[in-house]
Amino acid sequence: MGAENFHEVALDHVEWLLLDWARWMRPKWDGGRVREASGCVGGGYTADFDDMAAEADRRVAKAVDAAIEDLGRAAPAQRLSIYITWGIAEGNIAVWRFRHPVADIYERAKQELVPRLKRRGIWLGE
């Protein structure tokens, strides 16, 4: 497989990671009500596979969030394009003016996330 194909695979993985991150970023509140209960467990509890997978997803989502924040320091428009694309941006974002279409900025942001995610030990299918 050539370098071009590896890059495409990495970008596909970035897209999946952003989907997982967006799910993690969604507020746990719905109209002032908690959507998720805070679990309380008595003695004898052991994590099952689903619990372990959910914890792994949370760890990866936190690493993706850190990479996005790092990206935001260098390229705020790219960070905001991720928030807009995944519906995370709230409040008045109308004050932002982009020189290029948000979709183009988002594609560049995904490319810029690749090395940032690799530095954090996130596997990108390569």
Say which residue the tokens 């596997």 belong to.
123
- Reported as a single tens digit per residue, the pLDDT across 54-97 is 888 889 999 999 999 999 888 899 999 998 888 887 655 656 67
Residue 34 β-bridge partners: 29
Is the residue at 113 inside a domain? yes
Is the residue at 85 inside a domain? yes
Cα(85)–Cα(79) distance, rounded to whole angstroms? 10
Is the residue at 57 inside a domain? yes
Q: Inform me whether the pLDDT recorded for 112 exceeds 50.
A: yes
Is the residue at 37 inside a domain? no
Q: Which two tokens stand for residue 26?
A: 């969604």
Q: Which two tokens stand for residue 65?
A: 């969030």
Percentage of the chain lying above the pLDDT 70 cut: 71
Domain count, the chain: 1
What pLDDT, on the 0 to 100 scale, is given for residue 32?
38
Best-predicted range by mean pLDDT among 22-31, 34-43, 68-77? 68-77
pTM recorded for the entire structure: 0.75
Is the residue at 43 inside a domain? no
> Where in the sequence is the domain holding 96, given as residue range(s)?
3-25+50-119
Residue 33 β-bridge partners: 30
Residues 6+ apart with CB under 8 A from 69: 79
